[in-house]
Amino acid sequence: MIIGRSGSAISTELGTMRVTEQIDAMETMAVSPIQYLVAPRLVASLMMFPVLTMLFNVLGFGGAYLMGIYVSAIPPGPFIAHTRELVVPGDILHGLAKSLVFGAAVAVITCWRGFSASGGAKGVGDGTTRAVVMSSISVLVMDYAFTLVSVGGGR
Amino acid sequence: MIQIDDLWKSFGDHEVLKGVTAHIDKGTTFVVLGGSGSGKTVLMKHVIGLLKPDRGTVRVNGIEIDKLEGRELTEARRMFGMVFQGAALFDSMNVFDNVAFPLRERKRGMPADEVRARVIDKLKVVDLGEDVLTKFPAELSGGMRKRVSLARALVSEPQVVLYDEPTTGLDPITTDYVDDMIVSAKERLGVTSMVISHDIASAFKVADRLAVLYDGRIAAQGTPDEVRASTHPFVQRFLSLWFKKQ
């Protein structure tokens, strides 16, 4: 969801700035586009991915609670007790650690594809498509690697 | 002021510049004329260090721009202002923020009052009033965008201003106005200017010296009269199309 919403926006904005020479203009004004455009987006991603992950955790728990209590008729007490039993603080920290890495990867990939855009509107569109596809695949691969390591570490 | 010596540049197998040599004196306007794809913009991007040559050198005020990297190159770019073909205004910022950008980023610590005064002063140079300060680039006409772009290029008081096809896509009246602005910037602020163009009328109006670029080489170079008298077949054909109309 974040890649579709924010990753594509980053790639499109930077791609448009590249093909309309706004990034070149910044360089000619002795301003580093990496510092001015990439660094704030990287920092924002590193800050907001964990925040959004926590938000989605809360929403996910809330959704599960509503479904469990009102649709599946599970009593609230056992639902909460089982959840506390199954979800340990380490799980939350594990998710937050992953979100930090995903945030960095998505910011770097989408900024890089935006900076690499060329050839007008089509180039910006192609760059955004590549950014979203590469980011999504990267997140899946890294998630797999994280799980492999954590399962291996748990044995 | 600017000395370009035997500049060569290729992109893959395509040779764009094939030994370009030119010099630009301080406080003068030098125009590079040439057809589409002749390498004009590539030449200009070498002058400001956006591209590195395969061979040859570019010296500005004695500094070899092509040898600089990182912080040194950034420092050297403080000598320049550049007006892009499409104006290249930041579309997420209004006119004031666009023109103030070089001051805020390059001269950090400058009081806000002084930034505002200098922005308004430079907008006056290009004949724009305070009513445009809060407008965004999308709300401006092509001519106004070019003028704001020139104000942005001049606001940090550079020694050299580079113009990339400043009159392309403009109507004749706005073209004439932009030509006057280039001459005015030179006369009022004493800047050295390099103009890339295929607009012969504008070139002959603003140039102290000019060069015609053909197939990656300088086909003719000198004062407007000297270039007009050139016997090079491409130069004759290129110029005759316009002079016949006069």
Q: What is the pLDDT of residues A67-106, one digit of tens each?
A: 999 998 899 999 999 988 888 888 899 889 999 999 999 9
User: Do A95 and A129 form a contact (C-beta atoms < 8 A)?
Assistant: no
Tokens of B205: 């109006």
Per CB-CB distance under 8 Å, the chain B contacts of A32 are 74
- DSSP-derived 3-state class of residue B118: helix
- Residue A36 carries which DSSP code? I
Reported as a pLDDT band with limits 50, 70 and 90, residue A153 is low
pLDDT at B208: 93
- The half-sphere exposure of B63 on its side-chain side, counting CA atoms within 13 A, is 16
Reported as a pLDDT band with limits 50, 70 and 90, residue A147 is confident
* Interchain pair A22, B89: CB under 8 A: yes
Domain chopping of chain A, boundaries: 2-154
Write the Ramachandran bin of B58: left for phi over 0, alpha for psi from -120 to 50, otherwise beta.
beta
DSSP codes of every residue in A80-128: HHHHHHH--HHHHHHHHHHHHHHHHHHHHHHHHHHHT--SHHHHHHHHH
pLDDT at B89: 95
A115 to chain B nearest CA, in Å? Answer: 15
B102 to chain A nearest CA, in Å? Answer: 6
Of A111, A132, A103, A118, nearest in space to A39 by CA:
A111
Q: At what angle do helices A120-154 and A89-115 cross, to 10 degrees?
A: 150
DSSP codes of every residue in A50-88: HHHHHHHHHHHHHHHHHIIIIIS---HHHHHHHHHHH--
Which domains, from first to last, does chain B contain?
Answer: 2-243 (3.40.50.300)
Measured distance CA(B39)–CA(B214) in Å, rounded: 8
* Interchain pair B85, A21: CB under 8 A: yes
Q: How confident is the prediction for chain B on average, in pLDDT?
A: 88
Of B22, B24, B25, B19, nearest in space to B7 by CA:
B19
pLDDT in tens, A26-53: 988 888 899 999 999 999 999 999 999 9
For residue B224, report the phi and psi dihedrals to the nearest 5 degrees.
Answer: -55, -40
Interface confidence (ipTM) of the complex = 0.78
Per CB-CB distance under 8 Å, the chain A contacts of B78 are 30
> Quick check: A59 pLDDT over 70?
yes
Measured distance CA(B120)–CA(B100) in Å, rounded: 10
pTM of the model as a whole: 0.80
